[in-house]
Chain A
Amino acid sequence: MTSLMDKCAVTGIGETAYTKNSGKSVVALQMEASLKAIADAGLRPSDIDGVIPYGSLEVVAEEFVTNLGMQDLRFSAVTPLGGASAVAAIQAAVSALVAGVANHVLIPIGRNGSSGERIGARAAAMPQFRAIGEYEMPSGNIAPPQLYAHMARRHMEMYGTTSRQLAEIAVTVRSNAILNDNAVMQKPMTIEDHQNSRMISDPLRLFDCCLESDGGAAVIISRAEAAKDLAQKPIYIMGVAEGHPDSPSTITQRPDITTLGTAKAAPRAFGMAGVSHKDIDVAEIYDCFTYIVMCQLEDLGFCKKGEGGDFVSNGRIALGGELPINTHGGLLSQSHIIGMNHVCELVKQLRGTGGRAQVANANIGLVTGYGDMGDGAVAIMRN
């Protein structure tokens, strides 16, 4: 198999303001982010010949052709992995670019997740949720905080993981958001604040759950040889992979409900990149729920299964720690842009434009996506 290592780079990133009420249409948010990413790369809209829209939102490839005046869209696809879609789309983009199908692929995401229809309201209608819709929703097992609570409770019972350990994640990510002017949540959070937040679906409390947000984000992926002549320092994609868990439609029927698709993607991404865990300077981990962060850190191999609670404690994941995570504030405290904000943040960190949350000497970093009933995706990048 042809290795995709270092064959492509992120050449442009774009983000809108992240808010609770954008006052803009979803199409407008996605176009604004896309135009920013294209300008950031030093490209013109007409240079874009590939697009991977987010499958479950209303903006399709045709909208990009129409709005951006694209004369010859040569590649379009969707990667329907829920919150893992953004990182899975990088794998699809790189595959198409290396094959010569396109030159510059745009990956846009944007939503009115706060002011528009809420995430939970849409889930039942999605085909990925069909089995849940038939066999679990009638009994009341409906929304991700409940579905994932079964995973978290099992982890706690098997490994002694505690709510206070999950709180370490929420508190760390909040402290990073406070350093970011484009983060929705700006109020400091303590472990006690987390412990006092209302129970949503035990063991997950309100502060274990991500935000629902308005905003858009986009990246441009280009072949490495084309990337050298563009406006920004290329951020090379060293390794990328998607992974689907056993029993991908239902957590209930999964042999090990504490393991995600991430566990299948990670060895492939690390293998392609040719780096080990100690080489990762910064990690942007999809954080729809604190537990999902901890579980991914295990499935990525940063620690063994069951050791995630200890791993996230004692400042290891904070700025200045062994593995700083979610330097932008994540879905928990910056904004829920379905993880495209994580991709943009990793690129900023590796460019050295991470602002007050910049990790010193960040040369190699990792970003994950996680979605639906346990889909995972991992990308490792370098400057």
Chain B
Amino acid sequence: MEKIMSDTAYDKPMPPLNRDSKPFWDSLKDHAMRLQRCADCGKIRHYPRPVCDSCYSMEVDWVRASGQGKLHSWTITHHAFHPGFLGDLPMMLVTVDMEEGVRICAQIRDVEADQLCVGMPVRLDYEDATADLTLPVFRPA
């Protein structure tokens, strides 16, 4: 972990960045999520890490995510486990099966709780939290 991004007005947890994941976070800033892919065997993996668990190659490249996914599970949080989220409650967090075979956990917008169901099609979107941090969010597809 090299440094914590800082922004005085932003009071939610910031991701501790590291060398393995910088291209991922940079891609979110570009509103074009890229996923890590093994440059030797082609397996896409998430979260970013240095070794491919299929062929043990440490060579990577990055591929653009389609942004299409389906709901795998979710929770609706009513208790602030961090003071920065007090104003966001209740908060819908979803686990999404992305088309590329990995999962993303993020908040979902523009949906009612009783609409959530396993397999529900969703699409990836982006919210700029600070000048340096963009977070993924989902919306119904």
Residues of A within 8 A of B (CB): 120, 124, 130-131, 133-143, 145-146, 149-151, 153-154, 157-158, 198-204, 249-250, 252-253, 257
Interface size class of B (residues with CB under 8 A): 35 or more
B78, A134: Cβ atoms under 8 Å? no
A139, B75: Cβ atoms under 8 Å? no
A142, B74: Cβ atoms under 8 Å? no
B73, A153: Cβ atoms under 8 Å? yes
Q: Which residue of B lies closest to A255 (CB)?
A: B103
B15, A133: Cβ atoms under 8 Å? yes
- 7 contacting pairs across A/B (C-beta < 8 A): A134-B15, A135-B105, A154-B118, A201-B76, A202-B77, A203-B75, A252-B104
The verdict on B93 contacting chain A, using a C-beta distance below 8 Å, is: yes
1-39 of chain B: CB within 8 A of chain A: 1, 12-18, 21
Q: With A140-B82, A202-B76, A253-B47 in contact, do A124 and B13 touch (Cβ < 8 Å)?
A: yes
A150, B18: Cβ atoms under 8 Å? no
Q: Which residue of B lies closest to A152 (CB)?
A: B75
Known: A139-B93, A201-B77. 10 other contacts (CB 8 A): A120-B81, A130-B1, A134-B18, A149-B75, A153-B75, A204-B75, A253-B46, A253-B47, A253-B103, A257-B73
Q: With A158-B118, A198-B78, A201-B78 in contact, do A141 and B73 touch (Cβ < 8 Å)?
A: no
Q: With A143-B81, A146-B81, A146-B93 in contact, do A136 and B75 touch (Cβ < 8 Å)?
A: no
The verdict on B107 contacting chain A, using a C-beta distance below 8 Å, is: yes
Give the chain A neighbours of B21 by CB distance below 8 A: 134
Give the chain A neighbours of B51 by CB distance below 8 A: none
User: Considering the chains assembled together, what is the distance between the CA atoms of A5 and B44 in angstroms?
Assistant: 43
Q: Which residue of B lies closest to A124 (CB)?
A: B13
B73, A151: Cβ atoms under 8 Å? yes
The verdict on B135 contacting chain A, using a C-beta distance below 8 Å, is: yes
User: Considering the chains assembled together, what is the distance between the CA atoms of A198 and B72 in angstroms?
Assistant: 25
Give the chain B neighbours of A158 by CB distance below 8 A: 118
Quote the shortest CB–CB distance from A124 to chain B (angstroms). Answer: 7
Q: Which 8 A-B pairs have the closest CB atoms?
A: A149-B75, A154-B73, A143-B81, A202-B76, A142-B81, A201-B77, A137-B13, A150-B73
B75, A157: Cβ atoms under 8 Å? no
A138, B73: Cβ atoms under 8 Å? no
User: Considering the chains assembled together, what is the distance between the CA atoms of A357 and B46 in angstroms?
Assistant: 47
